[in-house]
Amino acid sequence: MQKYFMDWVVYILECADKTLYTGITNDFDKRLEAHMAGTGAKYTRNRGPFLCLYKESCKNRSEASKRELQIKALSRDEKLALITQ
């Protein structure tokens, strides 16, 4: 049986407290469910519900990780400008 791998994505969530969280995954729906259940990233625990503001496809985990670091280095205003492009 061949295993199917989904594309990696970088995503930005808006938390209920209006903060922004940036992460990567190769199964966005499953990762969002984990965030909603409080079992995702430590930062997102008790900050739900979430709204996905941005998703960007990447070729592989390495590319996604590099892009995540670039986005995390942006200011909030720069992240919001990226989202509205």
Which residues, other chains included, contact 28 with Cβ-Cβ below 8 Å and sequence gap of 6+?
Answer: 9, 11, 52, 55
pLDDT at 45 over 70: yes
| CATH number assigned to the domain comprising residue 48 | 3.40.1440.10
Report the pLDDT value the prediction gives residue 20, as an integer from 0 to 100. 97
The answer to the question of residue 2 being in a domain is: no
pLDDT at 61 over 90: yes
The answer to the question of residue 19 being in a domain is: yes
When divided into structural domains, the chain yields a total of 1
| Residue among 49, 43, 52, 48 at smallest CA distance from 13 | 52
Domain limits for position 72: 8-83
Q: Grade residue 85 by pLDDT with cuts at 50, 70 and 90.
A: confident
pTM: 0.89
The answer to the question of residue 3 being in a domain is: no
> Which tens digits make up the pLDDT trace of 4-30?
456 899 999 999 999 999 999 999 999
pLDDT at 63 over 80: yes
The answer to the question of residue 72 being in a domain is: yes
